[in-house]
Amino acid sequence: MAKLQIRKVGDEVLRRTCRPIEAITPRVLTLLDDMIDTMRAANGVGLAGPQVGILRRIAVVEVEEGEVYELINPKIVAIAGEQEGAEGCLSVPGRYGLVKRPRHVTVRATNRLGEEYEINAHDFLARALCHEIDHLDGTLYIDKVTRMLSEEEIG
């Protein structure tokens, strides 16, 4: 599998709105595999299309080892509660900040087999899903940060 180049803050592609994926082709399947490899190699928990220069609604999330969510055309369909926690981003290396997110989300997406499914996520998984879906709309966590964290606070 190919390791893709992760785009960094300042790259215009990160600020663009992504288009839906119309068909699941062999190229889309390869992209999913490459995104997972790239995310893991960078020690991330999520990666979205624009972060690797692809302006399509596609993302991967893995907050628990071995449990990968492949998200094609994901959409948040329900939210509840609130949480505030530290976030970082592979596209904003070395910086972390506090961000308010929903505590619970329901996300509808399509998997690699073309099947629509829903994820009912809580806490950290909800945060990760919201973070990656924001990328698909050209939003970075630094746009929502309530306070940037110092190196001492990060630990």
Pairwise CA distance, residues 4 & 26, whole Å: 17
From the CB of residue 13, how many other CB atoms can be counted at a distance below 10 Å?
Answer: 16
Contact 132, 61 (CB under 8 A): yes
Pairwise CA distance, residues 34 & 41, whole Å: 10
Contact 106, 80 (CB under 8 A): no
Of 47, 65, 45, 41, the C-alpha closest to 133 is 47
**Alpha-carbon distance values, 5 to 47, 51, 57, 120, 136 (Å):** 11, 8, 18, 31, 17
Q: Which structure tokens are listed for 133?
A: 């879906």
- Residues acting as catalytic residues: 132
